[in-house]
Structure 1
């Protein structure tokens, strides 16, 4: 049983606006959803010993708590440092967020002032992420297609809903743009998990290209863009896809950076480790919703990721 969706699963269709007279009902629902989430968190933490006794299978009860703790420790201890190997046995049985979040924080802390920040995909929309330096002080806007059931506006963050390919922002508005494991959903079938709107049952392999062009428009010259995507042998899972070398090159070229750097990480039974592009060209993924791609290695989802830093 999976209590929690993959972090960053918020690329979904925005619900139609409710009439003004019904806004209070929506607010009440958000409070109910928040309380339900807290109850699920408590249950998941309580069942962590059971999760361990079962051999820590991905996405089972206790998985969310184990992953959250691993991510927090890796961020706080600066585990994913540039050009440094990952610790032995790092992130065994955990999905790619255990690498992506610490990688991002390492980059942000090294880059100095963040300025005005956009989270394209709302993947950062977790209290344990937003409360850590330097995001806890950031002028941050989170954008996704649908309203969040949990939001942290009281911490000073803004929420915007819309399509990344046609954003409402003015030119050169942001100093820093972050998009963690989101572009692999753009242009694909978001009705499988996120919406009943059949117009969102797309099959555009290169939909991400339009999003990257839009990112270029809204990031100021000299601004920075941090992007991660699952990488390996191309495969379309319907609601997400694996990027191959051609798609990665197209992603970068669509942004047109003045400089860029790509780091690769791979997952094996022994955990996550640094990799070269050549060693992950044939990497695969496990779809936790359909079970497709499951093996005995306990991969949580992608078996390789590309982490890209770009300067506009």
Structure 2
């Protein structure tokens, strides 16, 4: 096992040991034991196909778990549909860079390139995945290089201050709330005709937390227009103290978020971060 992998595995074991304490302390997001709870919830949601078009989510779904518990199963539902050809894939944001995600069909045998700003401690290049580091707004990929582009909860960071978590490069401390527009135009350039772009972003009443922002109705439309799809599908999900549920765009127009790093936006609902998300599939 690689050294970084061993260190992470030790941390995983320690977090699992802390699970009873996490439960006794009220299952607060990001406390010791939370990672184990989150991982288990995501795995179950993917394997039971809990997020499917037009179907309500299970009762009490994902209480106290951040938006990944919806985003990952939503993505896998889209990837596993009959007749879908994944082809050459790009993970724009490295959100798939987890062993329990990459090891699941159909990603386990995918022709997948993972792109993010800077190297991460855990990489799975030895399993055949490619890693590229750089800015999504200006890549070195050829026109039409990919058939599928995935960007899970990443565009809300593009153009903002990425020095807090993702890189030490001071040039990446920006204040451009429209940085996502150039990223979407680049996605359109590097995706082949007929290719699919699968995107999720936090949604609600616009707010800027410096390192991420909440998209509102106007920004979602700007995002779609920048890609100029031949067709698209747009879904919304909302979170409250009873868990995640499907929602209309109007239902989540005033949704807020909790910043786990500053504590801003904390309520008594145990939200992990966003209280609403938009999930978008765009066809080139």
Instruction: Identify whether the pair has TM-score above 0.5, normalized to the shorter chain.
Output: yes
Cα shift at 1:137: 1.5
1:118 is aligned to 90
Q: Does 1:197 align with 2:169?
A: yes
1:206-234 alpha-carbon deviations (Å, 9 max, x no partner): 00000000000000010000000000000
Q: Does 1:129 align with 2:101?
A: yes
2:241 is aligned to 269
1:59-97 alpha-carbon deviations (Å, 9 max, x no partner): 000000000000000100100011100000000000000
- 2:160–2:212 Cα contact (<8 Å) kept: yes
1:143 is aligned to 115
Change over 3 Å in CA distance of 1:66–1:310 after alignment to 2:
same
Q: Does 1:85 align with 2:56?
A: yes
Q: Which moved more, 1:254-263 or 1:144-153?
A: 144-153
- What secondary structure, in the 3-state scheme, does the structure 2 residue paired with 1:212 have? helix
Q: 1:164 aligns with which of 112, 116, 136?
A: 136
Q: Which moved more, 1:164-173 or 1:111-120?
A: 111-120
1:150-187 alpha-carbon deviations (Å, 9 max, x no partner): 11112211101110001110000100000000000000
- What secondary structure, in the 3-state scheme, does the structure 1 residue paired with 2:84 have? coil
- What secondary structure, in the 3-state scheme, does the structure 2 residue paired with 1:278 have? coil
- 2:185–2:226 Cα contact (<8 Å) kept: yes
What is the correspondence of 1:52-71 to structure 2 with a 5 Å cutoff?
52-71=23-42
Q: Does 1:251 align with 2:223?
A: yes
Q: 2:160 aligns with which of 178, 184, 188?
A: 188
What is the correspondence of 1:38-57 to structure 2 with a 5 Å cutoff?
38-57=9-28
- What secondary structure, in the 3-state scheme, does the structure 2 residue paired with 1:279 have? coil
Q: 1:284 aligns with which of 239, 256, 263?
A: 256
Measured in 2, the distance between the counterparts of 1:191 and 1:160 equals 18
- What secondary structure, in the 3-state scheme, does the structure 1 residue paired with 2:188 have? helix
Instruction: Please give the root-mean-square deviation of Cα atoms over the aligned residues, in Å.
Output: 1.1
Q: 2:72 aligns with which of 94, 97, 101?
A: 101
Q: Does 1:260 align with 2:232?
A: yes
For structure 2, which runs of at least 5 residues remain unmatched after alignment? none
What TM-score, normalized by structure 1, do the two folds share?
A: 0.89
Measured in 2, the distance between the counterparts of 1:195 and 1:91 equals 30
Q: Does 1:208 align with 2:177?
A: no
Measured in 2, the distance between the counterparts of 1:225 and 1:250 equals 15
Measured in 2, the distance between the counterparts of 1:192 and 1:124 equals 20
What TM-score, normalized by structure 2, do the two folds share?
A: 0.98
- 2:118–2:167 Cα contact (<8 Å) kept: no
Cα shift at 1:37: 1.2
For structure 1, which runs of at least 5 residues remain unmatched after alignment? 1-29
Cα shift at 1:198: 2.3
1:242 is aligned to 214
Cα shift at 1:49: 1.1
1:297 is aligned to 269
1:234-272 alpha-carbon deviations (Å, 9 max, x no partner): 000000000001110000110110000100000000000
